[in-house]
Amino acid sequence: GAGVSQSPSNKVTEKGKDVELRCDPISGHTALYWYRQSLGQGLEFLIYFQGNSAPDKSGLPSDRFSAERTGGSVSTLTIQRTQQEDSAVYLCASSFMPGQGSNQPQHFGDGTRLSIL
């Protein structure tokens, strides 16, 4: 597709279960970002990928959160032993050739709405 694709669009799970969220960036975009957005709030940065490596993981809230990216394309964000405070919308974005001097905007998917019961 032409845009960033995220799946599932909605996920409801029980507390303590593991969840895996998927992001398929725009073809050719080398940079990929994960954000978390709580209801009606701003964006909380989680992690950034350049290619398959993650130079900045500083936003991951705990060691229950992890992410990987394979083949410089699809990324998965995994949350283990989910807690109710993990309920939020998880947004993925991609951009073309970031780095010093880059002025490219980030392009966002529609997010995964995660609800922990």
Partner 1 sequence: AQSVAQPEDQVNVAEGNPLTVKCTYSVSGNPYLFWYVQYPNRGLQFLLKYITGDNLVKGSYGFEAEFNKSQTSFHLKKPSALVSDSALYFCAVRDATDSWGKLQFGAGTQVVVTP
Residues lying near partner 1 in the complex (CB under 8 A): 4, 6, 31, 40-43, 45, 48, 50, 55-56, 91, 93, 95, 98-111, 113
Report the nearest approach of partner 1 to the CB of residue 16 (Å). 27
Q: Quick one: 54 or 79, whose CB is closer to partner 1? A: 54
Q: Quick one: 3 or 16, whose CB is closer to partner 1? A: 3
DSSP string, 13-42: E-TT--EEEEEE--TT--EEEEEEE-TT--
Kindly report the CA angle at 21 between 108 and 89, in degrees rounded to 5? 55
Report the nearest approach of partner 1 to the CB of residue 8 (Å). 14
3-state secondary structure of 113: strand
Report the nearest approach of partner 1 to the CB of residue 97 (Å). 9
3-state secondary structure of 86: helix
